[in-house]
Each structure stands twice: as C-alpha cells, then as structure tokens.
Amino acid sequence: MDQPAISDYGFLSDCRSGALVGRDGSIDWWCPDRFDGPSVFGRLLDPMAGHWRLAPVAAGLPGHRTERAYVADTLVLRTVHHTPEGSVAVTDALAAELGARGHELGMNSPAVLLRVVEGLTGRVRMSLDFCPRPEFGLLTPYLHTQADGGLLAAAGPVVLTLRGDGVPLPVDRDRVRQDFEITAGQMVGFDAAYGREYGTAPVRLDPVAALAETVQAWQAYRESHHYDGRYPDEVRHSATVLTGLTYARSGAVVAALTTSLPERIGGDRNYDYRYSWLRDFAMTLRALWVAACPSEASRLFAWAARSIGRVGPEPVPVLFGLEGERDVSEYECAHLRGYADSLPVRIGNGAWRQRQLDVPGEVLSAVSLLRDHLGETLDGELREMVLGLTEQVAATWHLPDRGIWETRDADRHYLTSKVFCCVAMDRAVALAPRLGDRADPRRWAAIRDEIRAAVLREGWNERVGAYTGAFGSPELDASALLLPLVRFLPATDPRMRATIEAVERGLGSGNGLVRRWDTDPAGFLLCSFWLVECLAMAGERGRAEALFERVLGHANDVGLFSEQIDPRTGAQLGNTPQALSHIGLINAAWRLTDPTTD
C-alpha cells in the first residue's frame, strides 16, 4: 500500500461530523457539513481527493518519531513529533460551539478544524500543505488571499477559510504550501472553517482559545457520566468514541465515520457506513445505558421511533439517514481509486431496500429495555409503532430474508432473523399491558412459540453439532452467539454450549479474533466480543477475561477499533472507527462485571 494504514488514523469529532488525522500529520478525511455529506478532504480514498498536512519537514526521515494520545476524556488529539532538531506538539480538534457544556455538545458545532502547534524543545521546521478538494475530489477550488492574510477557497457550494497566527499562506495554484519554524515555548494556531456559498458563512475562531474551550466542553460532558463496572478506562473511552459518532442534532449514531474502507485489501466488499442502522439499535442502547449515558439513549430511541414512522406492510428500512431520511440510494464514485486500490467506492447504501426480518425484534428489544422509563401506557406514536412492528412480524416471520450480514445474493431462512422474530413476539407479549385494547398477547404468544419451535428444530445441524447460519445449512455463523445474549437460550444449554465451542474452534483464529463465517477473510471484532459475553454467561469467567484482553490488544495506539482485523498481519480493516466494535467492548466489559445482566 502507498498510503497510511487504517490504524494510523486518529478520530476527531464535533458531533456533527468527524475527521481522520494520520500519524504523519495529514487530515485525510473530513465531511464538514455532516457525517454522511461530501468530503472536502478525501485522500483516504484517493491521493488526489484533498488533504491538510501539518508536520515537521523531517517527518518520515531517520531520527523522526511520533507519540500521540487524546487529551483525557476528549476527542482532542495531541501528537508529539521528535526530530533531530527538537520536538513539537500538534493538537488537533473539531471545534465545539463556544460555551457549550454538557449535553449541548455538538448541537451547534461551527464546522471548524483547529490545529495548534507548540514548540517543546529546540527549533523545528514545520511544513503545511493545504489542498481542499470538495465533493469527494470532484471540485478544485479557487484560492484567494484575503486582506487579513487568511485564505478563501471556493468551489461550487463550498467555502473554506484558512487562517494562521502570523504564518503567511502563499497560494501555489490550487493549494497552499508553506514552511515555517517554531521554537521552544512558541505556539501557532490554525483554523480551517467550512461554510456554504449560498448559506452560512465560515465562522472565525481564535484557534488557541477555541481549542481550550473544546477540551472543556468534552470534559464537562464526560463528567456527567459515571460507569462503575470493570475495565473503566476502556469503557469510558469507547463511550467517548460513541459520543463522537453521534449526530447531536437528532441523536442518531452512525455505524462508522467512513465509507468504502475494504474488508479485504483489493476486495469489493466496500460499503458506506455513515448512516444509522436499526439492526444495531438494541446493542447501542444497551451500551449507552451501561456507560451511564441515559440522555443519549433516550434521544437515540426518540430518533428511531420518529424515523420508522407509521408501520405498513412493507419491511421497515434497515437503515436511515441521520435525520431520518429513508432513501439513501447507493452509487459508485468512478473517479476515486479507493483505499489501497480497493474498488468500488460507494456513496449511499443499497441495503436500505433489503428485507431483514431481525429489525423489528431489535426495535422491540430496545422498547423493552426502556420500559421502566416509558410509563404504564405508551404514547400514541410509540404504541402504533410497537403494534405495527408486531403485526408485521406475525405476518412475515416465515419468509426468507438477507440476514444481519446484509448478503447481496439470495434470500435465505437465516437463524438469527428467525430468532429476532421470536424476540419481537416475546417482547410484544411483555409490553401488551401498555398497548391498549388492540394488543393480542395470546395470539402473539402462540406465534412466538411456533417460531421458537421452528428455530430449535430447523436451526440445529446434527452433522455439524451446532446451530448454523441458516436453516438446512452446514455453515457455521458467529451470529449464532446472539442466542444467549437475547435470552433465546441460556449459554449453559447443551446445544448452545456446543455451538459456542464450535464457533470458537471453527471461526476463531487463536489470537482473540472470530470470523463471521468460514470464508470471511478477517476477524470481525463484534463477534469476538459476543464470544466473550457467551463464555462469561456459560460460567467460563477466566476464558472470557483472557479473550477480552486479547481483543483489546487489537486497538490502535489511541484506542480505536475499525470493523475487522486481518488475522495474519494484525492490520485493521473496514470502516473506522466502527461503532459496533466499541459497543461490543462496552457490553462485554459489563458482562464480565455482571454475567446475569440483561
């Protein structure tokens, strides 16, 4: 590969959008308007799609090394560069609104990138290369020097400004290149602000003051959350990452910051994860509750209920845009070469049209999880949603679907889809007293029992000695580990115990990684955390802890997980940072704290 490894990137967020900054000091991904919008820096997916590099001239040469860490309880990243001439720190952040505290974080983010350079020792020559390319690299902006020495970049609907404390910003055709020196004790700030040509103008901030405000905003936010279980540092950091993946205006949590980072280098399973999946809903809510984030859980729940709307005969969409948009139709960006030449690059996600029968069960599990906070009678819209989803499952559970892994080939009778149909009916029965006269718990219970019997009969493969991925299939699937987690079967059930062992033996790699299926090229981190939970629930606490700690070792140097890990090389793969990986960590840590918890 001729570009940074996925694990080389750190994550910045303002809870409106996010950015990725490499160990080399280059910001290679930023979609400033919102997470699922067009990029202005897109070098992550093509060398010509824009970046902003700020690093020592000596970066990458012999004698240069870096160390980096987040400022405590924030997504403000501090990178220290050590060179033969001296050391310098670059602190990067996406600015919080001035004065924002607590749950105001992200509500009115100004869309400003902050970069503050601080001389630590000696005299270090720095290099700046600012090369914006809006609309995923399709636009090359005009660059204009402003009267105050700053820069204006304009192309199509996008306006960017760049300012630096006393550092000239000379235009070199379609970019800014400048070297400057910084000495011990000196501090220089830069800010790049986004605006709309025909709308909101870019905001001007003092970079040093705005950086301090952003640190305070994050830390004040985290101070309101208290987790009392095991692995508190890891849980707290993963909760911060989940907050950073939350679109504050609606409460939706994006599956990942990025699009089209490959599951296998050179492969074509490259998808856009910058949306919010109902499939992840119950796990996300549980993680937010575990991490003591009840307000975030309530806002996510309200977003999902409003996004689903009135339920009809058509399948509920699997995913939505961040403000509840249904149509996120998929297209390919033929002009982008892809990360490490992995094509295609996709924008949008065609899975929104799939039938995935697990979705109502995920949503009803979340309603059940919040039942003590919803009152004795559900309000009108929520009651209609629960009734609609329940009746949809009653009418469709016997159909094949695409399953939780969103296959793009044939429909099948997937095990976990049927299990979640059973879960949906079970939770509906429990919620029936809150649903009014139209609730039909006796009929729902009969359907639940029918589905359960079908799963126990058709899902077990005698020859394999395990529950397999689809009815009649001999193929193991790590999603079978969900059965104890949703209380379908106890982990101590003999057949379930045999399935746990079969998955660990057949899909595990010995280094803590579990693949989704036999031909999956890499370990899927969420599946590894599911296995931790199953082992803990089966009474194998020592094995569960050892596995958990091996999985933790696959995070990058600033505690971030992508979607998958190459079992041969240990390289991170897939979109990053991946919400489900961090959700899995939080839920597994709590299971190790209390194996009996729901």
Q: What is the pLDDT along the chain (598 residues), one digit of tens a residue?
A: 478 999 999 999 999 999 999 999 999 999 999 999 999 999 999 999 999 999 999 998 999 999 999 999 999 999 999 999 999 999 999 999 988 887 778 889 999 999 999 999 999 999 999 999 999 999 999 999 998 899 999 999 999 999 998 899 999 989 999 999 999 999 999 999 999 999 889 999 999 999 999 999 999 988 888 889 999 999 999 999 999 999 999 999 999 999 999 999 999 999 999 999 998 888 888 888 887 777 788 888 889 989 998 898 888 899 999 999 999 999 999 999 999 999 999 999 999 989 999 999 999 999 998 887 777 888 888 899 999 999 999 999 999 999 999 988 889 999 999 999 999 999 999 999 999 999 999 999 999 999 999 999 999 999 999 999 999 999 999 999 999 999 999 999 999 999 999 999 999 987 899 999 999 999 999 999 999 999 999 999 999 999 999 999 999 999 999 999 999 999 999 999 999 999 999 999 999 998 887 6
Helix H or strand E segment including 279: none
Q: What is the rounded distance in angstroms from the CA atom of residue 97 to the CA atom of residue 362? A: 34
Q: Does residue 285 lie in a domain region?
A: no
Q: Does residue 501 lie in a domain region?
A: no
Q: Which amino acid is at 102?
A: G
Bridge partners (DSSP) listed for residue 145? 151
- Which tokens hold the place of 594? 């209390």
Alpha carbon 291 to its chain centroid, in Å, reads 16
- Return the CATH number at 204: 2.70.98.10
Among 225, 354, 347, residue whose Cα is nearest residue 289: 225
Q: What is the pLDDT of residue 464?
A: 97
Q: What is the rounded distance in angstroms from the CA atom of residue 228 to the CA atom of residue 221? A: 17
Which SS3 state, helix, strand or coil, does residue 382 take?
helix
- Which tokens hold the place of 240? 């911060």
pTM of the model: 0.96
Q: Does residue 242 lie in a domain region?
A: no
- Which tokens hold the place of 381? 């819209």
Q: What is the pLDDT of residue 330?
A: 97
Q: Which residues contact 489 (CB under 8 A, 6 or more apart)?
A: 483, 495, 496
Q: What is the rounded distance in angstroms from the CA atom of residue 390 to the CA atom of residue 383? A: 11
- What is the tally of structural domains in the chain? 1
Q: Does residue 189 lie in a domain region?
A: yes
Q: What is the pLDDT of residue 598?
A: 67
Q: Does residue 401 lie in a domain region?
A: no
Q: Which amino acid is at 54?
A: L
Q: Does residue 594 lie in a domain region?
A: no
Q: Does residue 584 lie in a domain region?
A: no
- Which tokens hold the place of 277? 């999946």
Helix H or strand E segment including 237: helix 232-244
Which SS3 state, helix, strand or coil, does residue 146 take?
coil
Among 572, 571, 531, 528, residue whose Cα is nearest residue 551: 528
Q: Does residue 169 lie in a domain region?
A: yes
Could you tell me the residue range of the domain that residue 106 belongs to? 6-223
